[in-house]
Each structure stands twice: as structure tokens, then as C-alpha cells.
Amino acid sequence: MTPGTATLERPAEMTRAVITGPKELVFERLPVPEPGPSQVLVRMLASALCTWEQRTFVGIEKGYPLAGGHEYSGVAAAIGPSVQVSGLAVGDLVTVSGLPRCGQCYSCRHRADNLCDNARGPRVPGQPFGPGGFSEYVRAEGHQVFKVGPLATPEEAALSEPLACVLHDMKRHPVRANDVVVIVGAGIMGLLHLAVARRTPSFIIVSEPERVRREKALELGAHAVIDPATEDYVARVNELSGGRGANVTYVAIGVTGAIEKAVAAAAKRGVVSAYASVHPRGSTISVDPNIFHNREVTLGGSYSQERDDFIASAELIGRREIDLRPLISRTFPLSRLSDAFEEALRKDAYRVLVLPDAEFAAKA
């Protein structure tokens, strides 16, 4: 099929959900946009509710109105004439890196497009900000669109973004054979770290205060679990590692004390990654800096994903080398986005997704 001429049938109008305030949603009707020359129009098939949107929905993060939804998959419905994504054709299952990378700033051109200087972009007054994945159609730049292989369902493909973020963290802070790995927090991000760590022969400990989540971690292959609410985290890591400490620790919860303890429980030359954002922003941690000198411990972090992480994620999911099905908790039609948010806030929920809605489609 020749890009630029090929398109799928599409309606004139679509529905887009916008978060307008704490626990407030509106469903707008808009014209289905035309893709520009370098853009792809994607018909959404599955869109996941990430922590950022959950925090905005409950009011922890402000920034209204937000057209949320940055973890989604869909069908390439129309492809602009100058898009040259390898092998991409209309009708293909794709996933989209919904967070902007301008491709032109210093960070984008200096091997750190995840840290794009223009990622927040200019806000247009009166227009909701955001990636807009809680919509029936989304327009995306060609370089942000990734084809997903045939084994993935749209729901699995929608989780390419969070897996790409985890692959980015684990590229920066890799697991080596025979490492003692600790994952702090068994929410979806912790469990994605577990799924990737399992592919290297290593001993994996998961620390998590919620029993249901510890059980899930064991089910998915953790070798040991710690309940940091009732057990001494540092003592337990030392005990489980034969006194040597953790070689690599991923702190997948935004808790300052957890980062401090992870540093204290690190092995000589151990690496600790502060993977999650910490709220309120501006919080501080307190560690004895001699641990960096005497024990050569490294404390680092990780933010979002780069393009190569996204390609890897889409391909791993497309071949089902990493099986994300155990992390898909429930799906709702787009019109029940509010119920989907309530569900996503449950302790035993990992990813909740919204799917296209027959009711909206009938309006078109």
C-alpha cells in the first residue's frame, strides 16, 4: 500500500475524554483530525490508565484540563505522505510514544530524547494539554509510532510505554548473572522490572507492604519477598543475600525512606535506581555519603524511555517474549472511564484499560 494514499474508512466525528478537575471528566465531540504529512492517524483500540492520569483524576497532580492517555495502541488508519516508518502500512497494529520528543533540542540530539527540553511543549490557552489517548482517534508524529508484532493483543500492545520505561531503567542499571536483585514496590512498574529481571539468571527479592501484591510477585517468579511494614528491610536483604547486600535495587515507589534503605542495603559496588517520582516534589533523602566512597555504591535514576527502548518493548511484546497478560486487570468501555479510574486505584489492580465504545461509535 502506498503511504499517503491509503486510509481506512473513518467517521467525521469522534469522542475524546478530558479530565477537567478532581474526579471530573467530560466527553467532547470533535472532528476526526487529518494527519499532517509527517503524521499517522491512529484509531485507538486500547488505552491504559497510568499513574500520572490517576493522580490527576484524584487531584494529587493538577494541570487541568488534561487530555490524558499516553499508553495506548491502535490501528494505523491513515499515514501521511512523508512518514517513513519501516514496514508500516495502514491497518497495522501500532503503539504510540505519546510523550513529546521534539527531535531538535540538545537532549534529543545528544542520546537522551527521553529528557527532551521541549517535552512539556507550549500550552495552547483554552485547549486541553496532553497526549489524548483517551480518544477514539489520535494523531501522532511518524517517529513516535511503533509497529507491534502479531502475537500481541491491543491490550498488551498498549503496555509498550510502561515496559519501555522499565527497559530504559534496566539498560541504565543492568542485572548481571548471579546478582541479588531487589525490587521495591510490586505495583505494575515493580512487576515489569521483575518480568525483565527474570530473563537474567539472578536471585530476585521483592519488597512490598500489601500482601496481595507480594503474592502476585511470588506468582510471577520472585524468589523471596519482604514485608517492609513488619520486617527490617536492610536486615532481611542482608540475610537473603548471605550478608553481601543487593547488587542492584530498583525503587519503584516514590517513598524517600525506601531510597535511603535501598542505599543502606546495597552490596559493595551495588547500584540503586530511584525509578519512581517522589511526591511532594522537593522532598529530600538523607544518606551517609561515605557509602559512595567506601563501598562504591551508585545511586541513580531513570525517567521515561528512549526510542530504542520503545522499539525493544514493542518487539518483545509483539513476540510475547514478555507476557503482560497477568498485569492486565480489567477493561472498561471508554464511556466508563470514571469507573475505570476507581478500579485502577485498587491495591490489587495493575493496569486497567479502556477500549473503544460501541455507544460512541454509533453516534458517529
Q: Which residues bind Zn ion (CB under 5 A)?
A: 50, 71, 102, 105, 108, 116, 118
CB-nearer residue toward Zn ion: 102 or 218: 102
The angle formed by the CA atoms of residues 142, 75 and 320, to the nearest 5 degrees, is 95
The angle formed by the CA atoms of residues 227, 203 and 255, to the nearest 5 degrees, is 40
Rg (CA), the chain: 21
CB-nearer residue toward Zn ion: 73 or 247: 73
Residue in the block written with cell 491504559: 48
Residues in the chain: 364
CB-nearer residue toward Zn ion: 191 or 240: 191
249 grid coordinates: 535495587
CB-nearer residue toward Zn ion: 105 or 264: 105
106 grid coordinates: 540538545
Q: How far is the CB of 331 from Zn ion (least distance, A)?
A: 17
H-run or E-run covering 263? helix 256-264
Do 193 and 169 contact (CB within 8 A), yes or no? yes
Q: What are the strands, taking DSSP E only, across 148-287?
A: 180-184, 203-207, 224-226, 246-251, 266-274
Q: How far is the CB of 70 from Zn ion (least distance, A)?
A: 6
97 grid coordinates: 510514544
Q: How far is the CB of 132 from Zn ion (least distance, A)?
A: 14
Q: How far is the CB of 255 from Zn ion (least distance, A)?
A: 19
Nearest-angstrom CA–CA distance, 68 and 134? 6
CB-nearer residue toward Zn ion: 108 or 274: 108
Q: How far is the CB of 103 from Zn ion (least distance, A)?
A: 6
Q: How far is the CB of 143 from Zn ion (least distance, A)?
A: 12
Q: How far is the CB of 108 from Zn ion (least distance, A)?
A: 3
Nearest-angstrom CA–CA distance, 135 and 42? 10
CB-nearer residue toward Zn ion: 30 or 58: 58
CB environment 21-38: b (16+ within 10 A), e (fewer): eeeebeeeeeebeebeee
Q: What are the strands, taking DSSP E only, across 22-115?
A: 24-31, 39-48, 71-79, 93-97
